[in-house]
Homo-oligomer: A and B are copies of this chain.
Amino acid sequence: MSWTSDALESLEVAGHRRGGARAAVVELLGRQNCCLSAQEIFDQLRKARRPVGIASVYRALEALAELRLVKRVEAGDGIARFEPAPVDGDHHHHLVCRDCGKVEAFSDSRLERAIDRVAGGLGYSVDEHEVVLVGACADCS
């Protein structure tokens, strides 16, 4: 089952009605392979002739985050970005260019294993994690 339909159903189960703006945000997020800021979501929906208020974008993201359907990513520039929470094993993390601000995804299974191992021994029930690497990308260095 796709993340999009899964998210729409989870929202419904959680007592939310199927509103147009929220569905548009969910459908856009479901088509991404990396994170988007609220403003980017707002702009892309407007470009796609499906304009919504920026407040609705934030409210949709809040509802999705509450249900852990999206993950909040902070890349170090003070702008929150959001992406679909990993369903299966497509877990990834982020690589930020210090110069141009570009955000890219990467994944590494050995890193995941190291994180799972350390998370187990801390006295917390860790249910989410994020790794951000910062440096200069090939274009900028």
Write the residues of chain A forming the contact surface with B, with a CB cutoff of 8 angstroms.
Answer: 72, 74, 76, 78, 80, 95, 97-98, 106, 108, 110-111, 113-115, 117-119, 122-138, 141
Contact = CB atoms under 8 A, between A and B. Distances in A.
Contacts of A131: 115, 129-131
A123 B138 contact: yes
Nearest to A97: B124
Number of copies of this chain in the oligomer?
A: 2
Given A72-B76, A76-B72, A125 B115 contact: no
Contacts of A119: 133, 135
A132 B133 contact: no
A122 B95 contact: yes
A97 B127 CA distance: 10
Nearest to A130: B132
Given A124-B138, A126-B133, A127-B134, 20 more contacts: A95-B122, A95-B124, A95-B126, A97-B124, A106-B122, A110-B117, A111-B111, A111-B118, A114-B114, A115-B133, A124-B135, A124-B137, A125-B141, A126-B134, A126-B135, A127-B136, A128-B134, A129-B133, A130-B132, A131-B131
